[in-house]
A and B are shown apart, each in its own frame.
Chain A
Amino acid sequence: MPDWRPEIRRRLASLELPPSRVADLTDELAAHLDDRYRDRLASGEAPDAAERAALVELRDHEVFEREYRWAIDDERRGLTRIVSVVSGLTADLRHAVRALARRPAQTLLVVLTLGAGMAAATTVYAVVDGVVLRPLPYPEADRLVMVGLIYPEQAWRADAPDVQALYGASAADAFDWQAQARAFEDLVPVEQRTLLLPDRGHGPELVDSASVGEGFLELFGATPIFGRSFVPIDFDVASDPVMLISHATWMHRYGGALDAVGRQEAGRTIIGVLEPGFRMPDAVVSRPVEFWGPLRPEDARYEPRGRRSVAVVGRLREGVTLDAARDDIAGVQVRIAEAFPGDYTTPDGRRLSAGVNRLQAQTVGAAARPLYIFLGAALLLFGIACVNAINLLLLRGLDRRGELAVRRALGADRIRLLRGLLVESVSLAAGGGVVGTLLAYGGVELFRWLGPTSVPRLGEVAIDGRVLLASAVVSMGAGVLVGLVPAMRATGRAATSVSFGGEAGFTGAAASGNRLRSTLVGVQVALATVLAVGAGLLFASFVRIQSRDVGFDPERLSAFTMPVKVEGRVSSEQVWDALLAEVRRVPGLDAVAGASDVPYYATTWRPGVGVEGAEPGPILGGYAGFVVTPAYFNAIGARIVDGRGFSTADRAETQPVAIVNATFVRRFFPHRRPVGAPIELETGEGRTDAVIIGVVADIVERRVEDGVRPAVYLPHTQQPWLIGPTVVVRSAREPATLFPELRQAAARFDARLPVLDLSSFDDRADRRLVEPRFRAVLFGAFAAVSLTLAAVGLYSSLAHSVGRRRKELGIRMALGADPRRLFGMVLRQGATVSSLGLVAGLAGAFALTRLLEAFLYGVTAADPITFGVSAVVLLAVSLLAAATPARRAGRTDVAHSLRN
């Protein structure tokens, strides 16, 4: 067989193909020629004739090349298009960078502007993503649910519409539901507990632990990294108590020692260490759980059905909807309630039902709404930044008219120019995106640090791939959108049909350009106004919360709690008195008293109260009940406004007495004097009749914003069922100096018990202010940045306009115009634009601030003072921004301006 390849290759040479392609074509043609040669031989031709016949297939060079080039060009055309576009964009990018570098100040301004907007938007979006959107870090998290009891009339949370208001259940409920409900694969009870660790040199410590039902760890995919997990026998009440520890606890308390497993702690054996990064779902226990024990169904503590200390979590069966699960569990609960009627009926005859929420919704709860509001504010800020950028690019386009006109004249088509300008704006946006993302890292840290503690999953917030992708997409998109109108304007026919040497031909384009730019500035002012009003309202709320009369004097007042259990024949009165006696031994104290609950903390006791002759009807949230020692009101500086306080004369054997607060009086004694009136109390011990002996001015409960409920105060001598008091002390010295001595006093009383929540009331007050302060600061920051951007936008616009009109202004001056009039003219120009923007902004704010209602205290969403102040601030800022260009107009150098 002759070798055809040299001949074939000679023909392919002129096509300049890559070697692999040449090899392919050669093989194919050679095979063809082989076949032709064989056929010819087979039909009886001589070898060299056959060879010649085969070579004829290749035709001559010219024809070969023509045919092949025709095919190859066709192929190449598709590829060429892509290659040329890519190389075109690369060239555009190089040009863009050079053009941007030529005006560094302008470039930097746009990049920083967009960067500020992106920083705000990325930060808040990262928080929204981490808290609300991202699925929980457990396997098949979308099917995880929480089940609980609900009050049928208040089944839905007021602050989160699709979420049911679940209450804790009993362990018996959990097991009944698991047995009877069909919508779930698994339902497991979990109880939040505390564990008392003995003194190891820092005093005894109360730590967070949890008892988890069988199957809990499997439900959440938690496995021990060493040791073992729970096995069925661990859940048997007769077997030895065991527990698992979290990874953080293992490192922190046991130094990561390998012999931690097997150790005894608080009467239990540690059997394993859980993997790092696993934590109890926020919805079940919002603090890190250190010790995990098996929930033993037979344990006596779970026997009473009325003891609702357990949260129930589980997983929906595949394909079951939430509504179906809700129907299922409600039906099951009806049957359970029928079997145990006493346990599931409220005092006023309502039947408790059961409800289900997705675990994620339960976790996020009410946190979503305020976060979305913040996101809205951040996007407003981003909008302002973009509008600012558009304006700056429009001005930039005006400056480059000459350059672009020349390029048009030299034949560049509009698409290419547009593409180039868009590449510029996208580059600017990319730069802004990078700046913004870097700032956002800091922003997220700041959010976490300052952040309201009520936001769940804050620890999971991070700038990860999802957030980066979203921010990249947004910044690219912003780059295109922001650059589009300026690019169209800059390359449009009106702009580029330049008459060299004269600006006179511009009035048409200039006028409409001016209108657009003024409108944009107006939009910025409007948006900034909305943010300013929002910030003002939140700030006013914060101030009102902070300055509200709390009903007591927190200065140099401190408190702590001890979880004393009153057992045996010792009465609670003796326990309280003994503890307070020890505390009184600390020198430098002006007053010492005890109470069941103190201000700035949640009130746990809700007694039933009945007043003769008063209208019945439930009070939302019930009443608040407090048990106090006689010295309490004096110690905290509360004001008795009628009758008397408690005294040592009020003892267990004397007439039961009570003191009520002003809200109580307003509710039940609007027209008569309460002192001396009888009331009926329903406590854990049963019903008692008592007499009101005094009225105290309202004292704040947990938060100022929540208001004060009708409250009843009882003397500690007459309530024998108590647990440990909260001790309050007022001192002459600084609270912090007292703390060690207070701890010693507590240790003298009972060294085995931990001292909890030892702090001054000033600190407690501060903690309560974290949320409203945070909101005010966040909005304030957004408002400040947006005002700056709006001011910069107005300034740039006016400055540019003044610069362009130099000749006109010069002529006016030359003709004798008063500089002050020119100043006034420019100032008026700025003021007009701002005023229009302001009016639009106030209208917008009026519509939007109702979204903030949940956060406002003491001000309405339409508070006229706030609106007024915001308007004044905006006008002032605008005038300030306009002042410099206006001054420049007034100072126009006549000769200089006429010369150019």
Chain B
Amino acid sequence: MSPTQPTRELKKGSAELLILSLVDDQARHGYDIARLIEARSGGDLTFHAASLYPLLYRLEARRWIDGRWSVKPGQRRRRLYRITAAGRKVLAERRSGWAAFVRAINRVTGGGRA
């Protein structure tokens, strides 16, 4: 793994934040979420199906996101996920928590100029 690619621990911890933020503005299906993460992170973050969907199910069980099947004629049915009110609250908390965390780390390590 290259030094700039995040470690597995960091990924797991921030995965929920990533997913929540992506379903905040519109409902998306799993592949969409994975593709967006990959694209927007410039390839630094990737999620395989085997890791992504379990995360989605957990978030769904906690009622932070809401999953619904959507059927288009002639196509396979897909599950679309959107954020819930509770999820929005968690997202806001995590965002500010994450930002604070990053600031703190940078201050301590003195390297924010990446």
Chain A residues close to B by CB (< 8 Å): 24-25, 27-36, 39, 56-59, 63-64, 67-68, 70-72, 74-75, 78
Closest CB in chain A relative to B102 CB, distance in Å = 27
Chain A residue contacts of B35, Cβ below 8 A: 35, 39
User: B29 near A: Cβ within 8 Å?
Assistant: yes
> How far, in whole Å, are A65 and B19 apart by their CA atoms in the complex?
22
Chain A residue contacts of B61, Cβ below 8 A: 71, 74-75, 78
> How far, in whole Å, are A34 and B54 apart by their CA atoms in the complex?
19
User: B57 near A: Cβ within 8 Å?
Assistant: yes
Chain B residue contacts of A31, Cβ below 8 A: 29-31, 76-79
- Tell me if A59 and B77 are in contact (CB < 8 A): no
> How far, in whole Å, are A132 and B44 apart by their CA atoms in the complex?
76
Chain A residue contacts of B76, Cβ below 8 A: 27, 30-31, 34
Closest CB in chain B relative to A5 CB, distance in Å = 11
| Residue among A27, A32, A34, A59 with most chain B CB within 10 A | A32
Add 20 more A-B contacts to A31-B31, A71-B53 (CB < 8 A): A24-B79, A25-B53, A27-B77, A27-B79, A28-B78, A29-B49, A31-B76, A32-B31, A39-B35, A58-B50, A64-B50, A67-B51, A67-B54, A68-B53, A71-B54, A71-B55, A71-B57, A71-B61, A72-B54, A75-B61
Closest CB in chain B relative to A24 CB, distance in Å = 8
Q: A27-B76, A31-B76, A63-B50 are in contact. Are A74 and B58 (CB under 8 A)?
A: yes
Chain B residue contacts of A57, Cβ below 8 A: 48-50
Closest CB in chain A relative to B3 CB, distance in Å = 24
- Tell me if B50 and A36 are in contact (CB < 8 A): no
With CB as the reference atom, state the residue of chain B lying closest to A33: B49
- Per DSSP, chain B at the interface is helix
User: B34 near A: Cβ within 8 Å?
Assistant: yes
Chain A residue contacts of B30, Cβ below 8 A: 28, 31-32
> How far, in whole Å, are A57 and B76 apart by their CA atoms in the complex?
19
Chain A residue contacts of B55, Cβ below 8 A: 71
12 sampled A-B residue pairs with Cβ under 8 A:
A24-B79, A27-B79, A28-B53, A28-B78, A31-B76, A31-B78, A32-B53, A33-B49, A57-B48, A71-B57, A74-B61, A75-B61
- Tell me if A29 and B48 are in contact (CB < 8 A): no
Q: A31-B31, A32-B31, A32-B34 are in contact. Are A59 and B50 (CB under 8 A)?
A: yes
> How far, in whole Å, are A27 and B76 apart by their CA atoms in the complex?
8
Closest CB in chain A relative to B51 CB, distance in Å = 5
- Tell me if B54 and A68 are in contact (CB < 8 A): yes
> How far, in whole Å, are A504 and B53 apart by their CA atoms in the complex?
65
Closest CB in chain A relative to B59 CB, distance in Å = 10
| Residue among B49, B50, B51 with most chain A CB within 10 A | B49
Closest CB in chain A relative to B114 CB, distance in Å = 29
With CB as the reference atom, state the residue of chain A lying closest to B79: A28
Chain B residue contacts of A35, Cβ below 8 A: 31, 35
- Tell me if B57 and A75 are in contact (CB < 8 A): yes
> How far, in whole Å, are A63 and B51 apart by their CA atoms in the complex?
9
Chain A residue contacts of B58, Cβ below 8 A: 71, 74
Closest CB in chain A relative to B55 CB, distance in Å = 7
With CB as the reference atom, state the residue of chain A lying closest to B77: A27
> How far, in whole Å, are A32 and B53 apart by their CA atoms in the complex?
10
> How far, in whole Å, are A33 and B34 apart by their CA atoms in the complex?
12
Contact of B49 (CB < 8 Å), options: A27, A58, A72, A75: A58
> How far, in whole Å, are A59 and B29 apart by their CA atoms in the complex?
20
Q: A32-B31, A36-B31, A74-B58 are in contact. Are A56 and B53 (CB under 8 A)?
A: no
Q: Mark B53-70, 1 if CB is under 8 A from A, else 0.
A: 111011001000000000
Chain A residue contacts of B29, Cβ below 8 A: 31
Closest CB in chain B relative to A744 CB, distance in Å = 88
With CB as the reference atom, state the residue of chain B lying closest to A11: B50
> How far, in whole Å, are A28 and B57 apart by their CA atoms in the complex?
12
Chain B residue contacts of A28, Cβ below 8 A: 30, 53, 78-79
Q: Mark B89-111, 1 if CB is under 8 A from A, else 0.
A: 00000000000000000000000
- Tell me if B31 and A68 are in contact (CB < 8 A): no
With CB as the reference atom, state the residue of chain A lying closest to B31: A35
Chain B residue contacts of A27, Cβ below 8 A: 76-77, 79
| Residue among B30, B34, B48, B50 with most chain A CB within 10 A | B50
With CB as the reference atom, state the residue of chain B lying closest to A58: B50
- Tell me if A68 and B49 are in contact (CB < 8 A): no
Closest CB in chain B relative to A1 CB, distance in Å = 9
